[in-house]
């Protein structure tokens, strides 16, 4: 750790406001990703499209008290805080990382090139990890911001570092090179990515090679490096007999490739479980690195055979009308286009191949040459339909496409969205690929639209009202975690979370990673706890900054290993203790072992420790609730003996917030109460119902006595009757248990009973006693006039089941008065 006073000296800043001399462990620039506020330093970075100074208030509310700024701030609004003023906050961030780097004298591998940087870095990690304690760039942290954040992770336990550096224009590498200061350099390749920032390929090469000023040698392809500025320290590979490592044979097989090299007149032979050219080149680069580090040929063989793929940006998802979508809506350059088209071609689905493309940005090529190349690539990969968006691609690409490729042209993304017709896409594999500025993620969302006539109305005012009802009953300083699992109890996770975030809730809780991902994609930045994490979701948890619940030693060990494999440290997790629910959680007999493990872990940090109350709403079970609480508090006390930092403690749910106020502790978990459902014996809260499930009458029938309704003829008309068919069935979540008069619906101020069996998409009700009823009239299944508690009682269940059972095909409508 560095003190804030020391940091001020390093970056040559001045205190605009000085408080306590805090210790800093984490550097933060994104207000959405704050885990450990007490030891974090916020850099108010300015970019072309945003300004970190605009988020200082938000960051302050999240607990950060140390700031680096470059413009005037209303300091009176932020008491007990340290504000350091510098001319340029990005330069200050880089200066601090440079100073930190100077304290380490271990091998540092610096990687640059047009493509493959992250793959080479991750494969080197896989190959070297058994023998080194490695620090490396997380994900693709290779930018002017990402590099200093990567280097900041270095500590004296590390024995080797692997950092990547990416640039997009002249003058950038001079800032990154001294921060990384590599002792070993790797140049992956020279492609077309980011060429628009350079006058020529030679200028781009010269700029990138600046990274290796401090390196003792540079590994790369002979054809690129042999006449470059780093010739004298080049460790090259290639077909040439002048290369340091000669490629003698490459034999591609069904699912693997045999690679034969020659180094110092000795054969080097190994196999990789990949067949594409990019993987082969990356593997040879990694092999050269290991040869330089002194690895034996036998060690090479074993390591390369175990390589596993690195998940990059391409995503394959099922979509509307039997389509499959490959979402690569982040870049538009020739090299990555070939990668994406290869991926498209690998999908042997039997579906038509389609592409949605934006303008491309490459230097060194005329528009004619660029789009002629793209057309050839589309034909080569058997693309049958091309949707083109942008002024240049619509002008040039159609000139070079054959008549066999169907072409549609749009001026802009907005133009495409306004004219989008889902019926035009059926049984296709669609590659969506565009430059970032075209915002093709908006197009990807079009292929996921759901529509249904019956609606669930959500009153956002009621959510806020109910939240405040509980907040008024909390002890000072108690935080609130709002549970938005199960689609926010059926109400719509992202929409509800947005309201809660606006009203400064502290945490959100979800059941599964998919729910958390939805929140992140909707712009939710609050900390999100995921209660049921498993190994298949680890990548998503980290990608979307979600915090898993750790409830067993198996999940503890596997997640810790995954965090380590991603080059991360102190990842926030929540520890669940079993006290009587007997569902998930660590047994209290294992607290010493658990505390020792968490306390010593460099990769995980306990954000909170919690347990579940089994019957907090039931007065008859109050003794058991007290037993659970005592068990939990003893476990927490034990954990504090082993975990050397503070963590949040929480056990109270909606009912316990009111019935067991002594259990509010550091935080409460507000669930069903937020949605207007209160424990049966409580009347002190004035909760409002949040959700109203509505449908309407599709048709009216006038039946005679003795006629029957629905399947199996169970609904027998006892007298002449008017029967209404309602647009809701068990596929929408209206249970078949409501059949034959058990269930009722509210129409025109009266309850109308269900007659016959509930069908998949329709339910019939007897509206004989409802005056002036007509086709199209609104019907309420549950809501303000017909409480969900009453509806649940008819079939012997609880409101949770009714609310969470509303199908996703039912459209949600949100309103706020």
Q: What is the pLDDT of residues 23-64, one digit of tens each?
A: 998 899 988 767 678 899 999 999 876 799 999 999 999 899
The pLDDT assigned to 451 comes to: 45
Listed in sequence order, the residues at least 6 apart from 39 whose beta carbon sits closer than 8 Å to its beta carbon are 1, 22, 23, 24, 25, 26
Q: Say how far apart CA 68 and CA 52 lie, in whole Å.
A: 10
Q: Can you say how many angstroms the Cα of residue 102 is from the centroid of all Cα atoms in its chain?
A: 34
Inter-CA distances, 343 with 308, 336, 415, Å: 17, 11, 28
The continuous run of DSSP H or E covering 205 comes out as helix 201-209
Q: Are 764 and 715 in contact (CB under 8 A)?
A: yes
Which tens digit of pLDDT belongs to each residue from 636-657? Answer: 999 999 999 999 999 999 999 9
pLDDT band at 681 (very low <50, low <70, confident <90, very high): low
85 vs 23, 50, 70, CA distance in Å?
A: 18, 19, 5
Q: What is the model's pLDDT at position 489?
A: 52
Of 83-97, 306-320, 771-785, the poorest mean pLDDT is in 306-320
Per-residue confidence (pLDDT) for residue 314, from 0 to 100? 56
Rounded Cα–Cα distance for residues 446 and 108 (Å): 45
451: left (phi over 0), alpha (psi -120 to 50) or beta: beta
Q: Is the pLDDT of residue 521 over 80?
A: no
Note the helical H segments in 643-694. Answer: 654-659
Categorize the per-residue pLDDT at 522 as very low, low, confident or very high, splitting at 50, 70 and 90: low
What are the residues whose beta carbons fall under 8 Å from the beta carbon of 265, sequence distance 6 or more?
Answer: none
d(CA 57, CA 60): 5
pLDDT bin (cut points 50, 70, 90) of residue 318 is: low
568, 543 Cβ separation under 8 angstroms: no
pLDDT at 363 over 50: no
How many CB atoms are located within 10 Å of the residue 711 CB? 13
Place of tokens 């690539």: 377
Cβ atoms of 150 and 249 closer than 8 Å? no
pLDDT digits over 757-803, tens only?
Answer: 999 999 999 999 999 899 889 999 999 899 999 999 999 998 888 98
- pLDDT of 551: 95
Burial classification of residue 153, based on how many CB atoms lie within 10 Å of its CB (0-12 exposed, 13-18 middle, 19 or more buried): buried
* Tokens describing residue 602: 């460099």
pLDDT at 166 over 50: yes
Say how far apart CA 163 and CA 184 lie, in whole Å. 11
- Tell me the average pLDDT across 684-710: 90
SS3 label, residue 134: strand
Contact status, residue 765 vs residue 723, Cβ threshold 8 Å: yes
Pairing of strands 266-272, 257-263: antiparallel
Residue 154 has pLDDT above 80, yes or no: yes
**What residue spans of 260-366 are helical by DSSP H?**
277-292, 297-305, 334-346
C-alpha 289/C-alpha 124 separation (Å) is: 8
In angstroms, what is the C-alpha Rg of the chain?
Answer: 31
Crossing angle between the packed helical segments 117-128 and 277-292, to the nearest 10 degrees? 50
Catalytic residue among 450, 645, 711, 811: 711
Res 249 pLDDT > 70: yes
What is the mean pLDDT of the segment spanning 275-283?
Answer: 92
A 10 A CB-CB count for 91 gives 15
For the chain, give the mean pLDDT.
Answer: 89
Count of residues in the chain: 817
What confidence score (pLDDT) does residue 562 get? 95
State the Cα torsion 712-717-720-726 to the nearest 10°: -60
| Spatial distance between the Cα atoms of 781 and 456, rounded to a whole number of angstroms | 10
Which of 33-37, 252-256, 319-323, 583-587 holds the top average pLDDT?
583-587
Residue 675 has a pLDDT of 86
pLDDT, greater one: 139 or 540: 540
Q: Residue 288 CB: number of other CB atoms within 10 A?
A: 24
Q: What is the largest CA-CA distance in the chain?
A: 101
- Using an 8 Å Cβ cutoff, are 359 and 391 in contact? yes
Kindly report which listed range (173-187, 221-235, 477-491, 650-664) carries the lowest average pLDDT score.
477-491
332-346: burial string, b at 16+ Cβ within 10 Å, e else: bbbbbbbbbbebbee
Q: How far apart are CA 134 and CA 95, in angstroms?
A: 23
Q: Say whether pLDDT at 331 is over 70.
A: no
Cα gap 186→110, rounded to integer Å: 6
Q: What single DSSP character describes residue 660?
A: -
Answer for the pair 413, 441: CB distance below 8 angstroms, yes or no. no
Q: Region 444-451: what's the mean pLDDT?
A: 69
The pLDDT score that the predictor gives to residue 576 is: 96
pLDDT at position 364, please?
A: 43
| Residue 125 annotated among the catalytic residues of the structure | no
* Span between the terminal Cα atoms of the chain, in Å: 49
Pairing, β 691-703 against β 721-726:
antiparallel
Helices and strands: H and E segment counts in the chain: 26, 40
User: Among 12-21, 375-384, 607-616, 725-734, which is the least confidently predicted range?
Assistant: 375-384
Q: Count other C-beta atoms under 10 Å from residue 631's C-beta.
A: 17
Residue 582: helix, strand or coil by DSSP? coil
Instruction: Name beta bridge partners: 2.
Output: 24
Start-end of H helices in 412-565:
413-418, 441-446, 460-471, 485-489, 493-502, 513-521, 538-543, 553-565
Helix (H, G, I), strand (E, B) or coil at 476: coil
To the query of whether residue 544 is one of the catalytic residues in this protein, the response is no
Residue 348 has pLDDT above 50, yes or no: no
Secondary element (H or E) of residue 93: helix 89-101
pLDDT (tens digit per residue) in 501-512: 878 889 999 988
Q: Are 695 and 763 in contact (CB under 8 A)?
A: no
pTM exceeds cut of 0.85: no
Checking if the pLDDT of 575 tops 90, the result is yes
Task: Write out the H or E segment, with its range, that includes residue 133.
Answer: none
Give me the catalytic one of 62, 385, 485, 744.
485
Distance between CA atoms of residues 708 and 764, nearest Å: 11
């Amino acid at each position: 750790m560095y003190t804030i006073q020391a940091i001020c000296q390093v970056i040559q800043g001045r205190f605009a406001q000085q408080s306590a001399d805090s210790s800093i462990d984490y550097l933060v620039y994104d207000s959405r990703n704050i885990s450990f506020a007490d030891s974090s330093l916020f850099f108010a970075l300015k970019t072309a499209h945003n300004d970190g100074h605009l988020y200082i208030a938000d960051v302050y509310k999240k607990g950060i008290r140390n700031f680096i700024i470059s413009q005037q701030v209303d300091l009176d609004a932020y008491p007990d805080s340290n504000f350091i003023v510098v001319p340029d906050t990005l330069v200050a961030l880089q200066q601090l990382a440079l100073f930190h780097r100077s304290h380490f004298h271990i091998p540092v591998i610096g990687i640059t090139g047009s493509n493959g940087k992250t793959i080479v870095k991750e494969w080197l990690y896989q190959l070297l990890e058994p023998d080194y304690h490695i620090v490396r760039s997380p994900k693709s942290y290779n930018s002017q911001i990402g590099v200093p954040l990567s280097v900041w992770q270095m500590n004296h336990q590390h024995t080797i570092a692997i950092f990547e550096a990416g640039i997009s224009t002249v003058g950038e590498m001079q800032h990154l090179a001294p921060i990384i200061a590599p002792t070993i350099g790797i140049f992956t390749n020279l492609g077309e990515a980011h060429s628009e920032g350079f006058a020529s390929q030679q200028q781009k090469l010269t700029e990138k090679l600046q990274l290796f000023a401090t390196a003792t040698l540079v590994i790369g392809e002979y054809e690129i490096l042999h006449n470059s500025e780093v010739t004298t320290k080049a460790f090259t590979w290639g077909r040439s007999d002048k290369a340091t490592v000669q490629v003698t044979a490459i034999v591609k097989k069904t699912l693997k490739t045999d690679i034969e090299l020659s180094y110092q007149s000795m054969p080097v032979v190994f196999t990789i479980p990949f067949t594409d050219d990019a993987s082969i080149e990356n593997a040879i680069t990694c092999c050269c690195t290991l040869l330089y580090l002194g690895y034996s040929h036998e060690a090479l063989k074993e390591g390369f055979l175990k390589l596993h793929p690195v998940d990059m940006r391409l995503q394959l998802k099922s979509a509307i009308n039997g389509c499959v979508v490959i979402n690569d809506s982040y870049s538009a350059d020739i090299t990555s286009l070939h990668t994406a088209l290869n991926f498209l071609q690998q999908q042997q689905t039997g579906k038509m191949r389609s592409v949605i493309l934006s303008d491309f940005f490459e230097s060194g090529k005329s528009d004619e040459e660029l789009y002629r190349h793209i057309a050839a690539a589309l034909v080569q990969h058997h693309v049958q339909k091309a949707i083109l968006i942008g002024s240049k691609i619509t002008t040039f690409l159609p000139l070079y496409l054959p008549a066999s490729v169907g072409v549609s042209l749009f001026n802009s993304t907005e133009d495409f969205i306004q004219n989008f017709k889902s019926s035009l896409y059926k049984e296709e594999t669609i590659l969506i690929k565009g430059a970032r500025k075209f915002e093709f993620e908006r197009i990807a969302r079009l292929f996921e639209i759901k529509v249904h006539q019956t609606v669930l109305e959500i009153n956002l005012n009621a959510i806020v009202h109910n939240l405040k009802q509980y907040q008024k009953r909390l002890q000072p300083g108690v935080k609130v975690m709002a549970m938005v699992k199960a689609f926010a109890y059926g109400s719509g996770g992202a929409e509800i979370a947005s309201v809660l975030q606006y009203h400064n809730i502290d945490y959100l809780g979800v059941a599964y990673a998919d729910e958390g991902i939805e929140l992140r994609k909707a712009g939710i930045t609050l900390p999100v706890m995921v209660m049921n994490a498993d190994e298949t979701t680890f990548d998503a948890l980290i990608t979307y900054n979600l915090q898993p619940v750790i409830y067993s030693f198996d999940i503890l060990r596997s997640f810790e290993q995954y965090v380590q494999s991603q080059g991360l440290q102190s990842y926030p997790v929540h520890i669940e203790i079993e006290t009587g629910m007997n569902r998930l959680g660590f047994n209290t007999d294992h607290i010493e072992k658990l505390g020792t493990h968490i306390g010593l872990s460099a990769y995980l940090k306990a954000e909170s420790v919690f347990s579940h109350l089994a019957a907090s709403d039931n007065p008859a079970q109050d003794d058991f609730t007290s037993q659970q609480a005592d068990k939990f508090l003893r476990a927490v006390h034990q954990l504090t003996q082993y975990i050397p930092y503070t963590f949040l403690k929480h056990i109270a749910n909606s009912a316990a917030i009111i019935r067991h106020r002594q259990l509010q502790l550091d935080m409460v978990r507000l669930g069903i109460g937020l949605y207007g459902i209160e424990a049966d014996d409580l009347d002190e809260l004035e909760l409002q119902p949040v959700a109203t499930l509505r449908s309407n009458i599709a048709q009216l029938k006038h039946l005679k006595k003795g006629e029957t309704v629905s399947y199996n003829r169970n609904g027998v008309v006892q007298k002449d009757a008017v029967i209404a068919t309602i647009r809701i069935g068990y596929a929408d979540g209206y249970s078949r248990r409501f059949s034959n008069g058990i269930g009722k619906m509210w129409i025109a101020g009266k309850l109308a009973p269900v007659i016959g069996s509930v069908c998949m998409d329709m339910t019939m009700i007897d509206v004989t006693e409802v005056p002036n009823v007509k086709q199209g009239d609104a019907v309420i299944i549950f809501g303000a006039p017909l409480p969900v508690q009453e509806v649940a009682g008819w079939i012997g269940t609880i409101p949770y089941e009714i609310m969470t059972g509303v199908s996703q095909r039912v459209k949600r409508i949100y309103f706020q008065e």
